[in-house]
């Protein structure tokens, strides 16, 4: 009997350690040549720094980032978990969940509020500088581009592109940005999330540097289109003041 109890204890301990082992986010977000998740339905434990407020009025949806990549922490109908766990941009968190995938976005879905543990406060990652080329459709496999999804990014010297949708005043918008001038080409997508405080604030004076989450909203495989930058708050728009040739392309 004692041997059985000892064996059960060992098995339980090993299982617990297996679940608790932290996996780099770059592993969790691995994808195939079409941008599809390679780990759909796989459970992982990750640790990272919170880079956004909650981005949905009803659902839990916030992003974390470690030294290797960014990831959406998502679950339906549990927006209150963000405040319930006292999360904020800069929180150092450990999250246990299962991989899901939606329109180019890799998600980790926790089953319980207690699957999100706050370890303290960490250092907010420096946004990765991107260019307009990073927002263009792909013509084939591009793992570097796929690995940008979910990360904090920044694009410089942007304008509200000529002929694009109006600056949002009451609902979300996916408006078009250009580099260097409003008539610049090519253009790219900037998604204004309705859950942010951007809605209702006045349109900034262009040009602006825009910080936000690099993301995607492609409806079908291969996931090679509709890349976007999504600012998290109104202060993610920052007046552009200097020009370098590298910023124009």
- Whether the Cβ atoms of residue 41 and residue 111 lie closer than 8 Å to each other: no
Q: What angle do CA 63, 93, 217 make, to 5 degrees?
A: 15
DSSP letters spanning 70-123: EEEEEETT-THHHHHTT--TTEEEEEEEEEEEETTEEEEE-SSGGGEEEEEE-P
CATH 2.40.50 fits 128-248, yes or no: yes
Whether this model's pTM surpasses 0.95: no
For 199-231, the pLDDT digits (tens) are 989 999 999 999 999 999 999 999 999 999 999
The answer on pLDDT for 79 being more than 60 is: yes
Does this chain's domain 22-121 share its CATH topology with 128-248? yes
Mean pLDDT of 29-43: 98
By C-alpha distance, which of 236, 212, 82 is closest to 149? 212
What is the separation of C-alpha 99 from the centre of its chain, rounded to a whole number of angstroms? Answer: 14
Domain ranges within the chain, ordered by starting residue: 22-121, 128-248
Q: Give the helix, strand, coil percentages of the chain, each rounded to 5.
A: 20, 35, 45
CATH 3.30.470.20 fits 22-121, yes or no: no
Mean pLDDT of 161-182: 90
């Amino acid at each position: 009997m004692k041997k059985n109890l000892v064996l059960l204890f060992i098995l339980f301990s090993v299982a617990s350690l297996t679940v608790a082992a932290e996996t780099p986010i770059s592993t969790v977000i691995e994808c195939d040549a079409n941008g599809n998740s390679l780990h759909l339905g796989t459970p992982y434990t990750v640790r990272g720094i919170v880079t956004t407020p909650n981005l949905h009025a009803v659902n839990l949806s916030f992003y974390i980032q470690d030294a290797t990549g960014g990831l959406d922490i998502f679950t339906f109908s549990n927006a209150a978990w963000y405040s319930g766990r006292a999360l904020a941009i800069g929180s150092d968190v450990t999250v246990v969940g299962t991989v899901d995938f939606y329109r180019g976005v890799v998600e980790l879905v926790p089953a319980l509020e207690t699957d999100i543990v706050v370890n303290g406060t960490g250092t907010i990652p420096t946004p990765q500088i991107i260019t307009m080329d990073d927002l263009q459709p792909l013509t084939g496999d591009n793992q570097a581009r796929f690995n940008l999804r979910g990360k904090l990014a920044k694009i410089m010297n942007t304008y509200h592109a000529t002929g694009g949708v109006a600056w949002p005043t009451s609902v979300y918008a996916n408006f078009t940005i250009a580099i260097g001038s409003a008539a610049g080409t090519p253009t790219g997508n900037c998604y204004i999330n309705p859950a942010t405080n951007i809605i209702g604030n006045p349109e900034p004076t262009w040009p602006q540097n825009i910080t936000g989450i690099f993301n995607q909203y492609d409806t079908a495989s291969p996931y090679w289109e509709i890349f976007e930058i999504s600012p998290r708050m109104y202060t993610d728009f920052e007046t552009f003041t200097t020009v370098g040739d590298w910023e124009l392309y």
